[in-house]
Amino acid sequence: MAVEHEHKIVLKNADELHASLLAHNKAFLFEIEQFYLDEHARYRRIVNFPRSARAKVETYTFTYKRMIGDRLLEEEKETTREDFELARTAAVSSLVKHRFKFPGHKRRHEWDVDFLLTGRPEEGGKVYFGMAEIETPEGAEWAMLPFLEPYVELVVPREHSRMFTNARLTDPAYAARVLDEYRALAGAA
């Protein structure tokens, strides 16, 4: 069973950070198109923009994620473009995002810094939400990436992480109000 602990950090001024990373760190860029069949089943097309002049690389994955108690079960496997396209016809929600990858604390874990877009950039898609995430084994040490510190809006408490899943954030209107909903919920606790 693959179990992970996700540490989520909501980013402020995400469009500014996205532009800076595009200008300076394109070597770490992935464009991800993902959609959901339900709240647990996700398909992805991942385009890796390589550091060299080689052609970009596309991969396709299917992931099943489910919270069991306070632990996250995640199973992922590669799939085909044909399966991706077939499954897309049954999608209930979707998103496009840019992901930048960075080594984490003592290079043991990897950070994903994601920017959710209103569409593909070449079609005018703009950043509507930014979030950084690091996955670690239970109880493992982790440290914030120094360049992210000025952009931290919220380190999401584990018990509220479901409010900040990509499946929910596919809706830009939800993404625009989720911080206020979190603050109201946290203030009532």
How high is the pLDDT of residue 54? 60
How high is the pLDDT of residue 98? 95
Residue written as token pair 């509220």: 160
- Global pTM reads 0.88
Residues (pLDDT < 50) of the chain are 1
Within 10 Å of residue 7's Cβ, how many Cβ atoms? 19
How high is the pLDDT of residue 1? 41
| Single-letter amino acid, residue 116 | L
Phi, psi of 117 (to 5 degrees): -115, 150
Q: Where are the alpha helices (DSSP H) in the chain?
A: 14-24, 81-88, 166-169, 172-188
Q: Count structural domains, the chain.
A: 1
Nearest Cα to Cα of residue 114 among 62, 184, 46 = 46
How high is the pLDDT of residue 2? 55
Residue written as token pair 């584990």: 158
How high is the pLDDT of residue 12? 95
CA atoms within 13 A of residue 168's CA, in its CB half-sphere = 12
Structure tokens at 67: 């919270």
Core vs surface per residue 90-103: b (16+ CB within 10 A) or e: ebebebbbbbbebe
Domain range enclosing 166 = 3-188
What does each C-alpha distance from 22 to 25, 66, 85, 126, 187 come to in angstroms? 6, 32, 28, 13, 36
Residues in the chain: 189
CATH number of the domain encompassing residue 109: 2.40.320
